[in-house]
Chains A and B, each alone.
Chain A
Amino acid sequence: MMLRAASKTGLVFFPAFDWAISPTHPEREERLLYTQDQIFEEGLLDIDGIVEFKPDLATVDDVRRVHFCAPDERSVLTESHLISAGGAMTIAKAVMEGQVERGFALVRPPGHHAMRVVHGARGFCNINIEAIMIERLRAVYGVDRIAIVDTDCHHGDGTQDIYWHDPDTLFISIHQDGRTLYPGSGFHHELGGPTAMGATINIPLPPRTSEEGFLRAMEKIVLPILEEFRPELIVNSAGQDNHYTDPITNMNFSAQGYATLTSMLRPHIAVLEGGYSIEGALPYVNVGIILALAGVDYSKVKEPDYDPERIRQSSDTNAYIDRMAEEILGYFRRCPEFIAKNRATKEFAQRERTIYYDTDNILENQKERLRVCPVCSGVLAIDSLTDRGYHIYAVHIPRKACPDCVALGYDWFDSVNVRSYDRVFLQDRTTDRYQVKKA
């Protein structure tokens, strides 16, 4: 019996065995050691149709399609982050160029808590590796509609922030309820900005949700919305901390569950995010995900202590998910109507937020101003001040901005009083121009 992948699957495996946030930090050298052992020992790289690639390095230009790094890119990231983002890009390239049907970037450090403005690290993330990959795909291959399904236990607030105003990027996050876990956001009424409502979907699940609940949320919420959105590409932010052995979360998901979820979702590209049960979960979950992507039988992949009875969810979880599914789908279907109303009633929309960088202990205050454009998703300006006194002003002109929004963006950038800020940035995605000014 010859083992062959039903779908040709690419793998970038980059465990960064010489990089850590600090020696005892969960994001340390040891994190993917046992995963490597399991993948090697199972002989996954010998399966016909599973191909391993060496990661490319992302460049500063790749980062500048997504982020405003303050004061600059080199101050907030290391080579390791560029390899991690580069690894995701390598897989994306292999998929786009038809070398493989789907692929998995098993890389660290992760990225889904990194927002558009980066003053430092939050939730172990400095730059958003999925967003950097996606924007490169758009720049190089002209891909338009993309869905990101974030199955990390923590709300993917960074990815949500980057795509909050983008109607062409559907961001769905399934996570442990924000009232019980970092970063404390991702409630089901968070649906996206005034011109992009419905392109952000949050599915907060109660603690101890198990396979049954996750797969139910997939079936009742994720798959129907994907069906309606019709993305050209599906990206999975494949965090693995919903596992019942994870030390910093409270969910009851399993390797079998992750593998089944992967075969339901059928993502083109999966990118590793969090997951810190490095011995009990990651080796098995990753093997399960790789086999599911490749279409190879994973029914015997199990954790040594797997016992579905012991990790069964509370009896009311299914009913809770059903209720939420109804509400979310209700909102989702009404979003076009909400957007029309926003456009009819507002010229500009503002929001003000406080963002905490837990890893680097920075507090940021953000004021965001969006033109609620009747034609495009609207030009965006961000005024950001940290508790360390660093102050920036950043203008983001979206990829499909209309001429009025482009003109307004340049006007904002040109007329701002440079002396009030440490740095002033312009990110013009219509031409991929990035400019920085300082007094």
Chain B
Amino acid sequence: MIIGLDVGGTHTDVVLLGEHGIECRAKVPTTHDDLLLCVWKGLEAVTLGVRPHDVERIVLSTTLTTNAIAEEKLPPVGMIVSSGPGLDPEFFRTNEHYYTVSGSIDHRGREIQPLEPMEIEAVAAKLRKEGVRHVGVVGKFSVRNPKHETQIQEILGDHFEYVVLGHRLSGNLNFPRRIATAYLNAAVYPLHKKFFDAVRRSLKKNGLPIPIHILKADGGTMSFDASLDLPGQTILSGPAASVMGSLPFASEGVDTIVLDIGGTTTDMAVLVGTAPLLAEQGAELGSFRTLIRALKTTSLALGGDSVVRVQNGRIHLGPDRLGPAMAFGGSSPTPTDAIVVLGGDLKGDRDAAARGMAHVAQALGVSVQDAARQVFDAACRRILDAAEDMVQAINAKPVYTVHELLEGYQVQPKELLVLGGPAPYFAKRLQEISSYSARVVPQWEVANAVGAALARTTCELTLFVDTERGIATAPEEAFHQPVKRDFTLDKAVSLALELLSHKAVREGATPDDLETEVLEKLQFNMVRGFYTTGKYYRVKVQVKPGLIGHYRSVMQRMQNAYTAVPCFSAGSP
């Protein structure tokens, strides 16, 4: 059995998954001031009477790091940045203790200007004096040659609790994002470590020595030990959890849009077959653009509780929420009230909802029923338009080869998977007014916790081979190996896949459940003075985000058992 736990903004959801699907589920209020409390309460609720050794693992998705960053409650971090020529690195300053130092590496990984150890020693002394315990070290083009970053690490020695090196974060080229990512990893490290140590201790103390895994923004998991290397990967795991929880219900061979309709927002993601799409560069959180692998999600400021206003005879929805729907004690009309008026069985106060819609009806000069219909349809159309825009943006993504430009895959979603309180009503109407077929995710209330529980360990790896310089490097793995002139692209791909498997297993994957994929393989003839002097290979591979093999069938059984058909009890829209 596996436990999945997702700490959300208001509730913490927990499921215990076994051979028959969801064996047990619980919902407890999220206690923001002491997350350990709600996590523990949730775990307690589903483990009662369960034999500890029957639970393989617990997968946690929390708002811990995301909130700390959003609320700017971060400890001091030392940043040591070596840039060389280009944009002024001062543009990328993340925080107070941000020091730029000499040293420069070029795009091929050649050292242009060496480091000055004295300079680093001075910065290190200053950081120590200022009581800084966590440090990010980032060099431009360090993924091509990490020499300067590792030199700085050696100089820093063991005077700091956590030192993160830029080249270990991602194989992608983007110096400003590397800086932001290193900063966030260093900044959330102490918080992350303290929290999960506490969870582990509680489990042990209560006779549940179950391995802890943690959900990442890319919809994959990692073991607690692996998370200590790069704890920043845990940001934005919440949206990823819901998407992963929808995955069992996606159709193979069809592209799907996942719509999570909440109170204030509708979060959207795209599945190509049963694989969620990833953000091109990485997660974005507030002003931080990062290299943290993340699912591509878009948030529309429209939800069930968005305020409905009428201006110049037209309905405007949101973007604000002034409280719950009138059906649930609020004071402004909302799409949820429209659904209640139209006969939706949402257990709210029907009269209050009607009062809300009466305001709208008066402003529009129509009947209350018509007003409700118009409000609900306006909400549905806004969601469809936003989904359309998202798909268009995905398909407009630049590509860099003639082949991809002419033959590249175009996302064409045919299905909608809907989650959220009013999901059944939205799914029905969205299907009626569009060409999509729409379904509700079964037991969507705990899809996030299910998603966390079932997500497989993911990771990515980039390999560069430069036969002119005679080197193969996989920066994320700190892998460097000399290569001969006759090294081939095929060899590069198998080397990359081999390194990827090692990495995945080390981070918590089951060796026989690795669905790997080659994301990119490019080869270039390097020609100097009309002679071919070498080959340049670039290979990027990943373990795809997806569900762990064994439980996929369990969830399919769960879907088959799900027969509830949503309908409005009276006067459907």
Contact = CB atoms under 8 A, between A and B. Distances in A.
B50 interface: no
A14 B525 contact: no
A28 B525 contact: yes
Interface string B509-526: 000000000000010111
Contact of A43 (B177, B524, B526): B177
Given A43-B176, A54-B399, A283-B107, A30 B526 contact: yes
Interface stretch (A142-150, A158-166, A231-239, A300-308): A300-308
B564 interface: no
A43 B174 contact: yes
Contacts of A33: 524, 536
B265 to A, nearest CB: 23
A80 interface: yes
A41 B141 contact: yes
A212 interface: no
Interface string A43-71: 10010000011110100000000000000
Contacts of B401: 16-19
B174 A287 contact: no
B173 A247 contact: no
A297 B92 CA distance: 14
Contacts of A291: 87
B168 to A, nearest CB: 16
B529 to A, nearest CB: 7
Interface size class of B (residues with CB under 8 A): 35 or more
A41 B92 CA distance: 13
A42 B85 contact: no
Interface string B345-376: 00000000000000000000000000000000
A14 B400 contact: yes
Contacts of A41: 107, 140-141, 173-175
Interface in A330-389: none
A24 B533 CA distance: 10
Contacts, number: 120
A263 interface: no
B402 interface: yes
Given A1-B91, A304-B104, A43 B531 contact: no
Contact of A24 (B140, B281, B398, B532): B532
Contacts of B140: 41
B480 interface: no
B527 interface: yes
Given A46-B177, A301-B87, A30 B400 contact: no
B86 A300 contact: yes
B32 interface: no
B105 to A, nearest CB: 10
A297 B183 CA distance: 24
Contacts of B205: none
Contact of A304 (B85, B90, B173): B85
Interface string A238-264: 000000000100000000000000000
A65 B213 CA distance: 62
A301 B402 contact: no
B402 A52 contact: no
Contacts of B281: 46
B88 A29 contact: no
A247 B396 CA distance: 36
Interface string A65-104: 0000000000000011001000000000000000000000
A18 B402 contact: yes
- Pick from B88, B90, B289 the residue with the most CB of A within 10 Å: B88
Nearest to B526: A30
Contacts of A390: none
A1 B287 CA distance: 11
- Pick from B104, B405, B531, B536 the residue with the most CB of A within 10 Å: B405
B525 A24 contact: yes
Contact of B402 (A23, A38, A46, A79): A79
B53 interface: no
Given A18-B402, A279-B107, A3 B177 contact: no
A7 interface: no
Given A3-B87, A30-B525, A42-B175, A79 B106 contact: no
Given A17-B401, A43-B177, A301 B106 contact: no
Given A1-B93, A3-B91, A16-B401, A29 B524 contact: yes
B6 to A, nearest CB: 30
B127 to A, nearest CB: 22
B118 interface: no
A19 B174 contact: no
A36 interface: yes
A141 interface: no
A166 B93 CA distance: 51
Given A18-B403, A41-B140, A283-B107, A2 B174 contact: no
A23 B533 CA distance: 12
B11 interface: no
B530 interface: yes
A19 B405 CA distance: 12
A34 interface: yes
B175 A83 contact: no
A320 interface: no
Interface in A372-424: none
Given A30-B536, A34-B108, A24 B175 contact: no
B402 A300 contact: no
Given A301-B86, A302-B85, A37 B400 contact: no
Nearest to B172: A40
- Pick from A17, A79, A279 the residue with the most CB of B within 10 Å: A17
A110 to B, nearest CB: 16
B243 to A, nearest CB: 24
B51 interface: no
Interface in B40-91: 84-88, 90-91
A83 to B, nearest CB: 6
Interface of A: 1-3, 12-19, 23-24, 28-30, 33-34, 36-38, 40-43, 46, 52-55, 57, 79-80, 83, 247, 279, 283-284, 287, 291, 296-297, 299-304, 306
Q: 10 closest A-B pairs (Cβ-Cβ)?
A: A43-B176, A40-B173, A41-B173, A302-B85, A37-B107, A304-B112, A18-B401, A30-B524, A54-B398, A3-B91
Given A43-B92, A300-B87, 12 more contacts: A3-B176, A16-B400, A24-B530, A29-B524, A37-B173, A41-B141, A43-B176, A43-B177, A54-B396, A284-B85, A291-B87, A299-B88
8 contacts: A3-B87, A3-B92, A16-B401, A33-B524, A43-B176, A46-B289, A53-B398, A54-B397
